[in-house]
Amino acid sequence: MTLRLEHSATHSQPPQTAYHKVYPAPSAWPPISYPNIIFYSHSRIAKAANNRLRRTSTKDTQARKVLLKKQTQLRRRAKEVRRARKVFDEINNIYTPKAYQAKMLSTAAAADPGPFKEDLSNQLLCPDCKTFPPDLVEEYSSGDMNGDDPSRVGGTMDEFSDVQQLSTSVAFSESKAHKALARNQNNASNDKGSKSLQEGYRAIVSYCEAFHAGTNIQNAAKHVFKLVEKEKGFKGKPQEVLVAGAIQVAFRQNNATRSFKEIYDLTGVPKKDAGIMFKKITAFVKKVKAEGRTGVGLDNVANFESRTTSAGEYCARFTSRLGFKQTNLIAKLAKSIAEQSQNSVHIGGRSPLSIAAACIYMACHAVGEPKSSAAIAEKCGVSDGTIKTTYKFLYAMRDQIIQPEWVSQGARVDRVPGIHN
């Protein structure tokens, strides 16, 4: 690349610019011929510019700036020329293939490794048993997590429902057309049997939550309700009566006894109707169990057991409602009194609620935290007269009921009130 400077022949001298202040006249330029077209190489022009820059006075600021700018341009052009020469050089050309040169020298041992040979001297040993050869057993169920089928469509299967679980559902929307479509789809897909089951399940869950019952009691009540709901002998019965009977059976099966008075207070079903339905459901489940019906899931009643309620099962729960300071001790003494009085002819045939209330009345007086019979009757769901009648028989056998070891726990026989109270 060269720089061409043109000078018009009609002018005796080039125009006076800042560049020509450094080169004032052609006579002052390097000793070469002065034709119309002069060629200078980059190196000579740069050298001349450097010499002029050194000889230029520091006061001539404008000329110095012009020379510095020109010097920078010449350096840039010279660098481009060197780069172009390097790229297209025959020896250092980047496009010319070159032989591979190893960066690391191989050792004498690895110079001729020879053909590949498998090393068969390795032994696979268990770090625990050190058995050789290893006893490897492949299990067919290895890695099976018993999870849900990932290719299955829809939600989880509901064991309490008899209808098809994989069904079409319409998304909810605020528009009237979408609401009507969802309502029609719901009416077409769900039959009456499924609706009655779902309504009964919702009622069972609501009542059990009010009783602070666990999930096991809820599932047991749903199980019983499903069995009796599809049986012909229970067709036409009110659903609330079936729900009350199923809840009572579920409580009995899980050792969480509730009285029919409590069931009535919760569901509103009369004690007589709830008691009759409870007996019918218990007899039906016993019949199914005796017939030996084979089934899976909720159709299997092999674990059903018919249990009776004793007065001792009510003592702990009723005692906690009365707010005693020594609740555990009074509940323990009342349960012991109830168990020992069951063999009595006069007490054995009475209601468990009446016996439990009378036992609590005697135990609280023996410990020294007396409560009136009216207060106990209110919490136990019996009448005051029933407690007094049952207490007469307990007081008559007080010497056999109250044990000597109770004295060490703070109970005394002389604190027990007489029947005249």
Residues 385, 357: Cα–Cα separation, whole Å? 11
Last residue of a domain, one of 271, 299, 327: 299
Domain that holds residue 37: 3-87
- CATH code of the domain containing 209: 1.10.472.10
* 399 within some domain: yes
Q: Are residues 255 and 349 in the same domain?
A: no
* 157 within some domain: no
pLDDT of residue 9: 42
pTM tops 0.85: no
Say how many domains are in the chain: 3
Q: Which of 401, 421, 134 is nearest to 413 (CA)?
A: 401
How many C-beta atoms surround the C-beta of residue 266 within 10 A? 16
pLDDT of residue 89: 60
CA distances from 137 to 27, 248, 384 (A): 105, 52, 74
* 169 within some domain: no
Q: Which of 238, 244, 224, 236 is nearest to 284 (CA)?
A: 224
Q: Are residues 79 and 9 in the same domain?
A: yes
Q: Are residues 237 and 317 in the same domain?
A: no
Q: Are residues 356 and 400 in the same domain?
A: yes
Structure tokens at 144: 């099976």
DSSP letters, 213-265, are --HHHHHHHHHHHHHHHTSGGGTT--HHHHHHHHHHHHHHHTT----HHHHHH
pLDDT of residue 88: 58
CA angle 147, 148, 150 (to 5 degrees): 115
DSSP summary character for residue 170 = P
* 384 within some domain: yes
Where the chain has pLDDT below 50, the residues are 1-41, 109, 294-300
Last residue of a domain, one of 87, 111, 142: 87
* 100 within some domain: no
Q: Are residues 251 and 329 in the same domain?
A: no
The residues pairing with 6 across neighbouring beta strands, listed in sequence order, are: 37
* 112 within some domain: no
Q: Are residues 295 and 335 in the same domain?
A: no
Q: Are residues 203 and 228 in the same domain?
A: yes
* 183 within some domain: no
Last residue of a domain, one of 66, 87, 108: 87
pLDDT of residue 29: 45
* 145 within some domain: no
Q: Are residues 29 and 67 in the same domain?
A: yes
* Cβ proximity of 395 and 416 under 8 Å: yes
Render pLDDT for 10-32 as a digit per residue (tens, 0 to 9). 444 444 444 444 444 444 444 44
